[in-house]
Amino acid sequence: MPRPAVWVRAINVGAGLARRLGIKLASLEADEIRQQAIARAGFDDLGPDDGWRDGLGKLTEDYRRHARLTPIGRIAAHRHLVDLLANRLRMERDRAEHPEIESQPVPAPLFIVGLPRTGTTLLHMLLAQDPANRVPETWEVMHPAPIEGTEDKRIRRAARELAWMERLAPGFRVMHPLAPRLPQECIAIDSHTLQGYEFQTTHDVPGYQRWFEQRDKHAVYRHHKRFLQYLQWQRPRLHKAHWVLKAPAHLFGLAELLAVYPDAGIVQTHRNPLKVMASLASLSTMLRAAFSESVDPRAVGREMARRWGGGLLGALEQRDSGRLPAERFLDIDYRAIVEDPIDTVKTIYARFDRELTPTAERAMRAFLAANPKDKHGAHRYSLEQFGLDADEQDRRFAAYRARFGC
């Protein structure tokens, strides 16, 4: 398991001693978190109950019972939940004062989906270089409300917070790029409903995860659209024809996604799942180790293989059954993204009737030149590290690999 830095261990020891002396550090009680968010935002309407209340209760219960949080982990979890609820409150206040937000159009968005570690991030960043596309930037998802300050102030604040993430989980940047102006995944938007896959990636929350996996996700996608409308409203100069969005977790809610965005285009990326599972387990182990007293990499490996393997096969079953419109999907091989990304973009644009202008192509080529593969170092991992049997996984995904040639 990755070992925290010396200074992190020292703070945890000191904070643990303070707790034993009766000094309260950070509450993980749902009502206290809600009240703190209300006090911070100066507003008490959290908007439609899209599941946030039950999600908050389930999540805080698992943080206390199962996540084995260190003192720093406890403080980080508390702060994150207060931040999410405070964001909701500020956005609801703005919606109450500006009803025109709800009428913002979101036509024909493009969603990038696929297992984690299959090129979705590279593709998202590449498409973000096209001036005709709009992506949610990391800083504006972290701090969406104008009342928090000017754009520059919120960008600087996001940069400071991301720097702390890098300090707590050294090497995370090797696995996933971090910067306030980079495109952000939709899971960070969905986290504002207290329902999402961010929480199970960073913490062991089995009860919460079982509850979430059984829930209908229509309300989560309605919130997702409202979030995009809110971002459009405050930055109208960036309003373009199409949003480009990305999250592997959309595999678990394709029907609900298309119910809310019936004209969406969906690009699904494909890679050998044997490569993916170990990489995903490595990422989750690193993140959990930043906040937890102990993490079992083999248990994480089994959990990730079950959840994401099941999500992938379930999504394909939905597509094959005819319950999802085939014309909304395009399948892309991971190797094509890595070996010829510009040609891959041309394939996507042709499929969804978009124009790749010379300006956009030049911007994409410049981005690729400035961001070579493994720019921040190589990510090394193996199935065996995470208790996964290669032969077993190979059999599980044999039909999938034959179908997509991966």
In this prediction, residue 256 carries a pLDDT of 98
Query: What residue ranges of the chain have pLDDT lower than 50?
Result: 7, 21, 376-377
**CATH number for the 6-404 domain, one of 1.10.3720.10, 3.10.450.50, 2.30.29.30, 3.40.50.300?**
3.40.50.300
Q: What's phi and psi for 204, nearest 5 deg? A: -85, 105
Q: What is the C-alpha separation between 156 and 269, in angstroms, rounded?
A: 33
Residues whose CB falls within 8 Å of the CB of residue 281, separated by 6 or more in sequence, listed in order? 297, 300, 301, 304, 305, 381, 385, 386, 388
Residues whose CB falls within 8 Å of the CB of residue 37, separated by 6 or more in sequence, listed in order? 81, 82, 84, 85, 86, 88, 89
Residues 131, 255, 188, 330: is their CA dihedral positive or negative?
A: negative
Bridge partners (DSSP) listed for residue 114: 269
- pLDDT tens across 290-330, in order? 889 889 999 999 999 999 999 999 999 999 999 999 999 99
Q: Which residues of 78-103 are buried (b: 16+ CB within 10 A; e: fewer)?
A: beebbbbbbbbbbbbbbbeeeeebee
In this prediction, residue 148 carries a pLDDT of 85
344 dihedral zone (left: phi>0; alpha: psi -120 to 50; beta): alpha
Q: What is the C-alpha separation between 76 and 205, in angstroms, rounded?
A: 15
Q: What is the C-alpha separation between 332 and 337, in angstroms, rounded?
A: 8
Helix (H) or strand (E) holding 75: helix 71-97
CA distances from 399 to 273, 275, 312, 336 (A): 12, 16, 12, 20
In this prediction, residue 278 carries a pLDDT of 87
- Three-state SS at 182: coil
Domain map (residue ranges) of the chain: 6-404
Q: Sheet with 242-246: list strands edge to edge.
A: 133-134, 242-246, 110-114, 265-270, 329-333
CA angle in degrees (0–180, nearest 5) for 335-339-345: 90
In this prediction, residue 376 carries a pLDDT of 47
Residue 211's nearest CA partner among 194, 188, 228 is 194
- pLDDT tens across 352-405, in order? 999 999 999 999 999 999 988 755 445 566 788 888 998 999 999 999 999 999
CA distances from 24 to 8, 57, 213 (A): 19, 20, 33
Q: What is the C-alpha separation between 358 and 337, in angstroms, rounded?
A: 20
Residues whose CB falls within 8 Å of the CB of residue 311, separated by 6 or more in sequence, listed in order? 249, 251, 252
CB 86 within 8 A of CB 41: yes
Q: What is the C-alpha separation between 110 and 374, in angstroms, rounded?
A: 27
